[in-house]
Structure 1
């Protein structure tokens, strides 16, 4: 069985790529998952602009603790990170970092984002 798998991977050049670039091959699936989640995030923001469930202001408060953009902007500049070990988003309002969960399905992503944001009103408002 192992020999067949080994020969199959070698015939397509995959085995050589795995051996030559182990770190790049290890993270290729994570990169694809993060790209998909980034697309989910963009869709989520667009929906928040037009729907009333969670507004852009709600998202801003969750991420930064502010209900409007400060006149001089944010310091530090808001950033986005991906997490795989948590189902819900986590925000660090001191560092303006939003950590969003990697999901395979948009409806699950949206549901978990909505739940976290709706259940944190009033926290950290500046």
Structure 2
């Protein structure tokens, strides 16, 4: 009710009724599968090793795992929110000499840590 009253303050309720299709994407949930390109664009690598170094190498995960499951593990959501995340999700890499052998995540700060 307060949301509607706030919109009425600026005369937006009538505009939304007339042009509802303009903001339909904000209120509708899409059921399209998450794409690898979307997941790649969402997470910013934060601690990459120097290009050409032995520590910088690619790893490939289990192909039976869905991208939605990876996103849910890292953020608690299986889809990217329409309005985006409140902060930039980060991707960190854990090396053999580091503290962890398994992927970890912090869903509050949106950090996904992957072992190399």
Task: State the TM-score, normalizing by the size of structure 1.
Answer: 0.44
Q: Of Structure 1 and Structure 2, which has the larger fraction of its residues in helix?
A: 1
Task: State the TM-score, normalizing by the size of structure 2.
Answer: 0.47
